[in-house]
Amino acid sequence: MEQFPNHELEYIVDDYYDITDFEDENYSPRIGSSSIDGDSSDSDFEDDFELNNPMTDTSALEVKKGKDIQGIPWGRLNFTREEYRESRLKQYKNYESLSLSREDLEKECKKVEKGHNFYDFQLNTRLVKSTIVHFQVTMSNSTLVLLYDLVLEDEFSCGVLYSGAVKDTFHMLRNLLWATSKHDVYLTQNYSVMHWSSMLRKSREVLNVARPIVPTLNSPGSMAQTLSRVQISTMAVKDNLMVAGGFQGEVMCKYLNQPGVAFCTKVATDENAITNSVDVYHNPSGAMRVITANNDAQVRVLDGGNFLCLNRFTFPWSVNNISASPDGKLLAVLGDSPECLLADAQSGKVVSNLKGHLDYSFASAWHPDGNILATGNQDTTCRLWDVRNLSESVQVLKGRMGAIRTIRFTSDGRFMAMAEPADFVHVFDTKSDYAAGQEIDLFGEIAGISFSPDADALFVGVSDRTYGSLLEFNRRSYDSYLNCIF
């Protein structure tokens, strides 16, 4: 992930968890009060009422009666929701790594009819909070110090301090939320991976990454090693296997129906070897594979059974995102380049260059039919590519204010959702050729989005110190007999 200036952050870093204060036996993070920019708050909506009252859910019925879906008390604030939205749209800074002209980009973008409700709001719970991790690097003469910060903002920050006090930042990817059913969601919260049951309204810790992690499976030739104090940068949950990556090149694999962590290691030891993306897929013969994309410009393919490294592919730039086609034959490889690559999953050989984006890419997803690939870019667009004719993208879909960080298709291929770093999630009807859309308008950093496997539910993780939460939307039914019942 490329560095870029960080002079006008929308969300100022306030609280951070000091990694030196970890207690392996009884972990309890200490919240500090210092801030990179000296601000005292990282939530625009914090007030005494919310801090002094227990967190509550917001139901669909309460929203119908006028309550905000996030529970933000607009009536007690000095501005209306509409005024704050207008201010956010004007002031939000979308960072650009490349200075390519965007003058004609708007002309390429599809005209989308917004205002549809494909997924209706169901519940917002603040009993679980998605959190986004980043670290700050400070350098004084020849001394390099890493300070790990847990913040509620959009940026993965890296500051180099010397005379003149220059600060740089990395963008964070947003694959930190996965639904395995319409009632089961896995998300990162502080130094844990949590399981949330929307049916029971309860959460439980699945993995604690602050404590030492000892792999239970250690096959001959395996790279398995004990890890501790891992900062989770990305995750994926598929086929009963949870895979999480870390900021120092860590990879952790845990079977959800078994205790402990089956496999963990550092796939790379470079200082800049962040695990940016992970995916779980089946190759054409049906064997499970785990694939990782790292900042050291390498993609690694692991066996999903014994976790031995089967292949290692090197690319010309840091790889920010990797995803396998539904048939397991192709890999979408995206990173610090305006070009996206399609590579053979077996050999790593590049079979096609996808040209059209104007900046670095961060997200990708495949339509279940395997013919359409969606790519998300820092130029604020998502491009759709037909693998049967890759001469140019077939559609260009634009966000409202920021880069496209996460893309998901429903299992039936009917809908595609894409999330910006903050505030907006867009849902498109693929049957309308992406001409009909729903815009989910909220406030806060988006840690991830996920459809349930049956496509009936959509979950959105929101990071904010005061209003961090998990939002649930249910697919609208158009069956007349159901409408009669309700």
The reply to whether 110 falls in a domain is no
In a shared domain, residues 379 and 468: yes
Q: What is the DSSP string of 255-268?
A: ETTSSSBSEEEES-
State in Å, rounded, how far the first CA of the chain is from the last one. 49
**Residues 186 and 176: beta-carbon distance below 8 Å:** no
Give, in degrees to the nearest 5, the angle at Cα 308 between 304 and 313. 95
Q: What are phi and psi of 353, to 5 degrees?
A: -105, 125
**Residues 160 and 185 both lie in one domain:** no
- Give residue 480's pLDDT: 42
Tokens coding 278: 């992970």
Cβ contact 345:370 at 8 Å: no
Both 140 and 184 in a single domain? no
- DSSP per-residue letters across 395-424: EEEE-SSS---EEEE-TTSSEEEEE-SEEE
Residues 293 and 375 in one domain: yes
Residue 76, helix vs strand vs coil:
helix
Q: How far is CA 262 from the centre of its chain?
A: 24
Residues with Cβ within 8 Å of 406's Cβ and at least 6 positions away in sequence, in order, are 173, 174, 175, 363, 376, 418, 419, 446, 448, 449
CATH of the domain at 386: 2.130.10.10
Q: Cα–Cα distance between 304 and 78 in angstroms, integer?
A: 54
pLDDT of residue 43: 60
Which pLDDT value is given to residue 20?
30
Residue 179 domain-assigned (yes or no): yes
Where does residue 174 rank: exposed (0-12), middle (13-18), buried (19+ CB within 10 A)?
Answer: buried
- Residue 183 main-chain phi, psi, to 5 deg: -120, -5
Does 128 reside within a domain? no
Please check whether residue 363 lies inside any domain of the structure.
Answer: yes
Residue 124 lies in a domain: no
72 and 24 in a common domain:
yes
- Helices and strands in the chain: count of H runs, count of E runs: 5, 33
Structure confidence at residue 134 (pLDDT)? 53
The answer to whether residue 21 is domain-embedded is yes
User: How many domains does one find in the chain?
Assistant: 2
If asked whether residues 33 and 147 sit together in one domain, one would say yes
* Interatomic CA distance for residues 121 and 62, integer angstroms: 11
Query: Do the bridges between strand 192-197 and strand 202-208 make them parallel or antiparallel, or are there none, so unpaired?
Result: antiparallel
CB atoms within 10 A of CB 41: 14
- 248, 352: one domain: yes
C-alpha angle 165-170-175 in degrees, rounded to nearest 5: 150
The CB density around residue 144, as the number of other CB atoms within 10 Å, is: 11
- The reply to whether 26 and 153 lie within a common domain is yes
Same domain for 153 and 222? no
What are phi and psi for residue 336, nearest 5 degrees?
A: -80, 65
Distance from C-alpha of 425 to C-alpha of 347, rounded to nearest angstrom: 35
Distance of CA 158 to the CA centre of its chain: 19
**Whole-number pLDDT of residue 269:** 80
All residue ranges of the chain with pLDDT < 70 are 1-55, 133-173, 478-486
The boundaries of the domain holding residue 384 are 174-485
C-beta of residue 331 within 8 angstroms of C-beta of residue 303 = no
Q: Across the strands, what pairs with 282? A: 288
Q: If 0-12 CB within 10 Å is exposed, 13-18 middle and 19+ buried, where does residue 251 land?
A: buried
In terms of domains, do 202 and 311 share one? yes
* pLDDT score of 47: 54
Say if residue 372 is in the same domain as residue 240.
yes
Residue 91 DSSP code: H
Neighbours of 223 (CB within 10 A): 18
Residue 260 lies in a domain: yes
Distance CA 483, CA 486 (A): 5
Residue from 7, 376, 320 nearest 172 by CA:
320
Confidence (pTM)? 0.83
Q: Would 116 be classed as within a structural domain?
A: no
Report the distance separating Cα 223 and Cα 292, nearest Å: 14
Distance CA 439, CA 74 (A): 21
Which ranges constitute the DSSP H helices of 19-134?
A: 48-51, 60-64, 81-91, 105-108
Look at residues 121, 152, 168 and tell me which one is the last residue of a structural domain: 168
Whether residue 195 sits in one domain with residue 160 = no
DSSP strands (E only) in 336-468: 340-344, 350-354, 361-366, 372-377, 381-386, 395-398, 406-409, 415-419, 422-429, 436-451, 457-463
Q: Are 280 and 304 in contact (CB under 8 A)?
A: yes
Query: Which residues touch 113 (CB under 8 Å, ≥6 apart)?
Result: 435, 436, 437
C-alpha 115/C-alpha 478 separation (Å) is 16
pLDDT in the model for residue 223 = 85
Amino acid letter, residue 298: Q
Amino acid in position 441: D
Q: Which of 124, 150, 168 is the last residue of a domain?
A: 168
